């Protein structure tokens, strides 16, 4: 039986080491500005767990900014999610593996348990495969079942590389100005999972407003 390291290809391990090294080198040069820090403070003052909601394409600067805080990140069980999962672990994040399409049931149970244990969870509701900026139901159902708030997060960067991927994944360039905006913590106004899932459009609008608060990212 292969152990975890043996199941992770050497080429991927090399890419992980290289990628983390570059992130630490470039990330230290980013000039980060926060807008509406009170939104995050309000969520944390509840004394409960809560959900950070962020678009998949804006993940990297937020992983850097919140490194070492013990936030739990939902990462896909897809093969390409393994590299992200290991990078997140190296940056001090906890992990829940799964998504709205693969491992959804197990992931939902794990999210609810973590939230009930007062953990902060970061979810990309349009991940792992898109459509971009469409709010899948998983975060809404987890928030409704756990009676916690969702905190929208948006990022704007003055200069960045963007991958030719479905989410136009953002990599801020050295010395970029990175603006991170927090929205207001929002409860899911529903009493059951089906009603919670119907709130996707409302939360997409909240996410759009938060990205605009950051300054937009197009």
Residue 90 lies in domain: 4-214
pLDDT tens profile 58-84: 999 999 999 999 999 998 877 667 888
Please report which confidence band the pLDDT of residue 38 belongs to, taking 50, 70 and 90 as the band edges.
very high
Listed range (11-15, 156-160, 172-176, 208-212) with the worst mean pLDDT:
11-15
Report residue 111: phi and psi, to 5°.
Answer: -65, -45
Q: How many domains does the chain have?
A: 1
**Residues 3-21: what's their mean pLDDT?**
76
Q: Taking the CB of residue 87, how many other CB atoms lie within 10 A of it?
A: 18
**Residues 128-155: what's their mean pLDDT?**
94
Whether residue 4 is predicted with pLDDT greater than 60 in this model: the reply is no
Please report which confidence band the pLDDT of residue 218 belongs to, taking 50, 70 and 90 as the band edges.
low
Of 74, 113, 108, 72, nearest to 93 (Cα)? Answer: 72
């Amino acid at each position: 039986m292969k152990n975890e390291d043996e199941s992770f290809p050497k080429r991927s391990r090399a890419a992980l080491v290289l990628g983390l090294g570059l992130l630490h080198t470039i990330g230290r040069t980013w000039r980060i500005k926060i807008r509406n820090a009170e939104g995050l403070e309000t969520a944390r003052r509840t004394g409960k767990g809560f959900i950070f909601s962020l678009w998949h394409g804006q993940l990297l600067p937020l992983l850097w900014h919140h490194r070492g805080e013990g936030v739990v990140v939902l990462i896909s069980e897809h093969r390409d999610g393994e590299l992200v999962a290991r990078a997140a672990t190296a940056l001090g994040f906890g992990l829940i593996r799964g998504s709205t399409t693969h491992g959804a049931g197990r992931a939902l149970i794990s999210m609810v348990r973590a939230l009930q244990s007062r953990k902060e969870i970061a979810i990309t509701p349009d991940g792992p495969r898109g459509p971009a900026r469409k709010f899948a139901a998983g975060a809404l159902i987890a928030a409704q079942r756990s009676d916690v708030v969702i905190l929208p997060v948006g990022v704007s960067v003055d200069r960045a590389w963007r991958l030719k991927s479905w989410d136009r994944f953002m990599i801020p360039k050295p010395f970029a100005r990175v603006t991170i905006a927090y929205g207001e913590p929002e409860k899911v106004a529903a009493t059951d999972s089906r009603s919670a899932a119907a709130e996707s459009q409302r939360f997409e609008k909240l996410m759009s407003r938060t990205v605009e608060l950051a300054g937009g990212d197009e």
